[in-house]
Amino acid sequence: MKYRDEHYYLNKSKSSFFWGFYDRNLRRFFIFRFLSLLFWNNIIPFVVRFKNKVGIVFGGGVYYVKPSTLSDYLSRSYFCRGGSFSICPPTVLPECKSGLVASGVRESFSLDFFVSNYSGSYVVGGSNAFVSNRDLIVHDLYDFKTDYTSEELHSRLILYPLIKVARLKRFDVEIFLKRGALFTDACSSNYAHWVTEVLPRICYFCSLPEYKDVPLVVDAGLHGNIISSLRAVSDEGRDIVYLNKGEWAEISSLFVASPSGYIPFDKRVKRDSLLKHGVFSNDSLKLLRRTIFDRLKISPCLLNKIYIRRNSGFRNVLNNDVLEAFLISHGFSVVQPEKMSFSEQVACFSQASVVVGATGAAFANSLFAPEGSKMIILFPEVEESAYLYWQNIAYAVGVEVAYLLGEVVSNAGAHSDFLIDEKLLIHLLNISKPAIVSSNR
């Protein structure tokens, strides 16, 4: 049975008479647009998730959930080892709010990179978990007790973390492969998560000659820029198998690359940890950077100053026009990454000496910024936010990150709209701090 989420029903409804009538006659009226958004953003998702959950409870199978380290039937090959290192706290303005972001030198660590091999496994589009020998296998960094998954939010599985058991809807296998490497992920459609958590794994895997003929298994329906990045790191002629969300495949010999980055989708329990802000494989991120530059024939240099104009329904800078005019008068160029191709984004960031913008997926492109460049990231001033996420990514490639916190206007947590103090931005543009204190690798 195919998985059907709210997007399936939305796309199906667009070909109906009722949608056409709404689009032609009612959409121009605010009250009907409001009711439509209420219906599609709240009522339909609730009904779909309730239906899926009922199907799992009354027609699902029970699986033991295991991290890959506890799997007794795998073989594992290590290709690089991680290590610990110390990082200075980033520059934060207003200084009185620096405690929200970080205080003092902190320890972080880089992940190992290895490839595991499983026999007789089942994988599904839209998830990096898979089934093998009646076990649901998850990666080593996942914490059952604290990490809440996208699959649970959308009622694609029910997890009982205390006893480490999951329920899945019974599935029909539609694709059969002798060999395959798993790179599906619940967050693969998000550019930042793709560039830092999925693409580096694919890049490292494709660089290993012993796996040169293994097909890649990825999610279907990804944005064109994501597909372009995939083609930039994969070998020419390598087979790629695309799985729709909820579509299952049986793979006789399954290869699973270890995480190149991980940040929990959400938390069951509020508990401070290194994983709250994301951890990454520095070697994997560096290899991705080198590979992309080589394939696109790009040489990074400290040349331009850019401002990222954010076009979104949330987390917006409300005095953006004032900031934008000021920055343009001081030699900044305004860019809109969502309107650029993948190669254009890489080329743009690779020539940047300073980048200013509101926090968002576009800052994943800091991976392609020149060493010694500076990212000034505008954040709403909230208690709970993964502030150090961008610094942990930028550390791997020697890019400095500074944070400017703004006054929250709409109370929507980390997604709040906010105002930025222009004077603090002027001050921050003249501040530079080294990012790295020491390395223990």
DSSP 211-250: GTTPPEEEESS--HHHHHHHHHHSPTT--EEEE-BT-EEE
Tell me how far apart the alpha carbons of residues 205 and 207 are, in angstroms, rounded to a whole number: 5
Tell me the torsion sign for CA atoms 193, 198, 201, 204.
negative
Burial of 138 (0-12, 13-18, 19+ CB in 10 A): buried
Report which of 284, 437, 300 is spatially closest to residue 366, judged by C-alpha positions: 300
One pLDDT digit (tens) per residue for the chain, 441 residues: 455 555 555 666 767 777 778 778 887 787 877 787 777 666 766 666 666 666 555 555 656 667 665 455 556 787 777 777 677 788 899 998 888 887 655 666 778 889 999 999 999 999 999 998 878 888 888 887 888 888 887 777 888 877 778 888 777 888 999 999 999 999 999 999 999 999 999 999 999 999 999 999 999 999 999 999 999 999 888 999 999 988 999 999 999 999 998 988 888 876 555 567 788 888 999 999 999 999 999 999 999 999 999 877 778 899 999 999 999 999 999 999 999 999 999 999 999 999 999 999 999 999 999 999 999 999 999 887 888 899 989 988 999 999 999 999 877 777 788 999 999 999 888 844 444 443 444
Residue 248 and residue 174: Cα distance in Å, rounded?
A: 6
- Tokens of residue 255, six digits: 């290869």
Q: What does the pLDDT read at residue 434?
A: 44
- List the beta bridge partners of residue 259: none
Helix (H, G, I), strand (E, B) or coil at 370: coil
pLDDT score at 54: 62
Alpha-carbon gap, residue 149 to 266, rounded angstroms: 7
* Cα distance between residue 193 and residue 262, in whole Å: 9
Alpha-carbon gap, residue 124 to 126, rounded angstroms: 6
> Can you tell me which residue has the tokens 């020149």?
370
SS3 394: helix
Token look-up 């939305």 returns 10
List, in sequence order, the alpha helices (H) in 66-109: 98-101
Phi, psi values for residue 155, rounded to 5°: 55, 40
* Residue/partner pairs of 425-432 with CB below 8 Å, 24 or more apart: 425/323, 425/326, 425/356, 425/376, 426/326, 427/93, 428/91, 428/93, 428/376, 428/402, 428/404, 429/330, 429/354, 429/356, 429/376, 431/91, 431/402, 432/374, 432/400
Residue 438: CA count within 13 A, CB half-sphere = 4
CB atoms within 10 A of CB 176: 9
- The SS3 of residue 363 is helix
- Token pair listed for 334: 């305004």
CA distances from 197 to 111, 134, 181, 205, 261 (A): 12, 26, 15, 13, 5
The one-character DSSP state at 111 is: P
Cα–Cα distance measured from residue 198 to residue 201, given in angstroms and rounded to the nearest whole number: 5
- For the chain, the first-to-last Cα distance in angstroms comes to 48
For 160, residues 6+ apart whose C-beta sits below 8 A from its C-beta are: 166, 167
CA distance 329 to 331: 6
Amino acid at the residue 251: I
**Angle CA 331–332–336, to nearest 5:** 155
What pLDDT was estimated at residue 124? Answer: 93
What CA dihedral angle connects 331, 310, 221 and 205, to 10 degrees? 50
Q: Which domains does the chain have, with CATH numbers?
A: 6-59 (no CATH), 61-82+110-276 (no CATH), 84-108+297-439 (3.40.50)
